[in-house]
Amino acid sequence: MSFRATILTLYPDMFPGHLGHSLSAKAMERGQWTLDTVQIRDFAEDKHRTVDDTPAGGGAGMVLKADILARAIDSVADDRRPRLLMSPRGRPLTQARVRELAEGDGVVIVCGRFEGVDQRVIDARELEEVSIGDYILSGGEPAALTLLDAVVRILPGVMGNAASGTHESFETSLLEHPHYTRPQVFEGQPIPDVLTSGNHAAIEKWRHQQALALTRERRPDLLEKPAQPLTK
């Protein structure tokens, strides 16, 4: 069974976006995942197809209406896929959550717009709010594409080398070690000798030490999580 993504959005033309290229596009062609969009505006009932209104209690911006969004969500088959709302106030997306999603049948993703979404539909339809970072976007569509990019690339068979998805930043609570390739010397800087030594144990030790040093420098918060032991 392929991984099925359904996107609820006011801008369906934004999909599949960059996912229509490279590995994700080839995986879609092979039927490893599918992408459908639902136009939220189709569920508005007035002649102007209005989907938003002013916030109760006053304030700036507009709010996506609960009844319209609920009808859009209810049009999607209730097949137990997680229902996600891309939101800057959501729980931060982690690689662990990405792997959980990749192991399931798919996702239903709601892309918010305007000032926000009526809280009642979030509660009533049990939407899981997800954030991709501490910044504000113009809407949930770029965030949804980012989430799907992270998920699709680790679906079974998408990457040519299965190990590629398990030896990366955030998979072991450490940032990834530096990488090198030919030419042997670039602008006077050689590839570190250990990487061309053929000593695999020494190479793994060096990579772990480099990853640890980078993490300590750039993301010390990750060191609060237990790092995975070396396998070699």
Could you please report the per-residue DSSP string of 145-184?
Answer: HHHHHHHHTTSTTTSSSGGGGTSSTTTSSSPPPP---SSS
Question: Are residue 145 and residue 213 in the same domain, yes or no?
Answer: no
Residue-wise pLDDT for 109-138, tens only, equals 999 999 899 999 999 999 999 999 999 999
193 with 83, same domain: the answer is: no
Residue 24: the pLDDT is 98
pLDDT at residue 33 in the model? 98
Residue 15 burial (C-beta neighbours within 10 Å; 0-12, 13-18, 19+): buried
- Any idea of the CA torsion for 141, 113, 135, 133, to the nearest 10 degrees? -50
136 and 220 fall within a common domain: no
The reply to whether 143 and 69 lie within a common domain is: yes
| pLDDT, tens digit, 9 for 90 and up, residues 178-190 | 999 999 999 999 9
Per the model's pLDDT, the better-predicted residue between 78 and 40 turns out to be 40
**Residue 144 is assigned to a structural domain of this protein:** yes
The H-or-E segment that residue 92 falls in is strand 83-92
Co-location of 117 and 175 in the same domain: no
pLDDT band at 163 (very low <50, low <70, confident <90, very high): very low
Q: 200 is in which domain, residue-wise?
A: 167-224
What percent of the chain shows pLDDT beyond 90?
A: 88
Closest among 72, 54, 60 to 118, alpha carbons compared: 54
For residues 176 and 106, membership in a common domain is answered with no
Q: Is residue 14 pLDDT above 80, yes or no?
A: yes
- pLDDT tens per residue, range 131-157: 999 999 999 999 999 999 999 999 999
- H helices present in the chain, as ranges: 22-29, 66-74, 95-102, 119-124, 141-152, 200-218
